[in-house]
Structure 1
Amino acid sequence: MTTGADVPDRRRRTGLDQHGRDLTGNPRVRILDVQVLSCDWSVVRKTTFDYRHGDGHWSREQRETYDRSDGATLLLHNVRRSTVLLTRQFRLPAYVNGHPDGMLIETAAGLLEGDTAEEAIRREAAEETGRRIGEVEHVFDVYMSPGSVTERLHFFAAPYEDTTAQEGETRGLADEGEDIEVLELPFPAALAMIRSGEIADAKTIMLLQWAALEGPFEHVRN
């Protein structure tokens, strides 16, 4: 008996070993077996499959995938003041992999948790920044780490109300251990922080560069 497959895990899930078994979209891939390696909050699976290479020969492969479900992220901007609203919070994986203190500056983001992408990002913007936002613009959808993580991240942008973030202002859900600092930055300063390495989060860099190239700050790059 396997937890998450035959036996419910702590989130009462079963059948987690069935995910991906019925894929037929790529004739060069034949799924043979899916095993659940871990199923705490997220699910780690090992999939065995046959793969036909470009020269026609087949090989048997195994890959591990980390499934944390899909998410959404949002760049909050105020064009009149040429500012963006970002967050700063502790990220243990970054800390253990060389970030000086693990405190990453990011766009608001979170998992969908059964909501649509727009519903989820409105929820996360309220929880993480406390701001009311205007019309949400869908920017693009991206697989952030397709070699091992299944997550697809939905990117959005939206204006926020003309209010100034208070120094030391913190947000987040206490019962989830969140301690999120709200940062309001001039847009040119945020771009400069990419170059300096102060902003090292991929989703944030992508949205800031989109905003400069074809988004709300196309006219304000320096």
Structure 2
Amino acid sequence: MANNLFRIRERTVLSDDWGNLARYDFELKTRSGAWQAQRREAYDRGNGVACLLHDPEGGTVLLIRQFRLPAAVNGHDGMMIEVPAGMLDGADPKQRMREELEEETGYRVSELDHLYDVYMSPGSVTEYLSFYQGTYDRSDRAAEGGGNVEEGEDIEVLHVLLEDALAMIRTGEICDAKTIMLIQHLALERR
């Protein structure tokens, strides 16, 4: 792989389990035009989707709580409050998001608005997330939710007032980047 900014010289797979961790030896073209040798690692687990559903009548947002090992091993208790999200696995992002919403929350929605695509940690992870938002009503519940047991998911569904969700960001109870971005986006829209 090469382009006018960088040239890969060697790719070494360090791990290929849930995702792929590789070390890259490459040359990067500097602003002066010189080529500089560098070595970095990149983790590739595919691209994903995330969505915030809002109930305009009740003033709530639909969030989930689930255990996240990386947060737990970094000092958090691991029980993260997040928006529903999932991996694309080659699927259409909007359709995949609808499936994840029903699997994780039990809610079936037809209309989702694409907001933006974002690289969440471009210094180490190849993944980008497609962000969506939509509305829901309590009558849209079509399934139990709670996640896929075979995938180790045990998801609690939360209906949180938008104002409370904003306060939870300030207190650190919500500390997931994708969730913060989507809640703040909705709050700005509703101004």
- Measured against the shorter chain, the TM-score band is over 0.9
| Structure 1 partner of 2:9 | 32
> CA 1:186/1:206 → structure 2, altered by over 3 Å: closer, same or farther?
same
Following the alignment from structure 2 to structure 1, what is the Cα–Cα distance between the partners of residues 62 and 5?
A: 45
Shift of 1:63: 1.0
- CA-atom RMSD, angstroms? 1.6
Q: Is 1:117 aligned to 2:93, yes or no?
A: yes
Aligned residue for 2:138, secondary structure, equals coil
Shift of 1:56: 2.9
Equivalent position amino acid for 2:39 in 1: Q
| Structure 2 partner of 1:189 | 164
Equivalent position amino acid for 1:183 in 2: L
Q: Is the 8 A contact 1:132 1:161 kept in 2?
A: no
Shift of 1:118: 0.6
| Structure 2 partner of 1:160 | 136
Unmatched segments (≥5 aa) in structure 2: none
Q: Is the 8 A contact 1:134 1:160 kept in 2?
A: no
Shift of 1:162: 2.7
Q: Is the 8 A contact 1:170 1:179 kept in 2?
A: no
Shift of 1:179: 0.3
| Structure 2 partner of 1:55 | 32
Q: Is 1:42 aligned to 2:19, yes or no?
A: yes
Aligned residue for 1:207, secondary structure, equals helix
Matches within 5 A, 1:1-222: 21=1, 23-24=2-3, 27-99=4-76, 101-163=77-139, 171-214=146-189, 218-219=190-191
Following the alignment from structure 2 to structure 1, what is the Cα–Cα distance between the partners of residues 78 and 19?
A: 21
Following TM superposition, where does structure 1 have runs of at least 4 consecutive aligned residues deviating by more than 3 angstroms?
Answer: none
Q: Percent identity?
A: 51
Unmatched segments (≥5 aa) in structure 1: 1-20
1:54-92 per-residue CA deviation (whole Å, 9 max, x = no partner) reads 223321111110000000000011111111010000011
1:129-172 per-residue CA deviation (whole Å, 9 max, x = no partner) reads 0011131000110000000000010000011123499xxx8601
Aligned residue for 1:120, secondary structure, equals helix
Q: Is the 8 A contact 1:84 1:184 kept in 2?
A: yes
Following the alignment from structure 2 to structure 1, what is the Cα–Cα distance between the partners of residues 188 and 115?
A: 12
Structure 1 or 2, whichever has the larger Rg, is 1
Greater RCO (CA < 8 Å, at least 6 residues apart): 2
Aligned residue for 2:110, secondary structure, equals coil
Following the alignment from structure 2 to structure 1, what is the Cα–Cα distance between the partners of residues 44 and 28?
A: 22
Q: What is the aligned length?
A: 189
Aligned residue for 2:133, secondary structure, equals strand
Equivalent position amino acid for 1:162 in 2: R
Following the alignment from structure 2 to structure 1, what is the Cα–Cα distance between the partners of residues 22 and 164?
A: 41
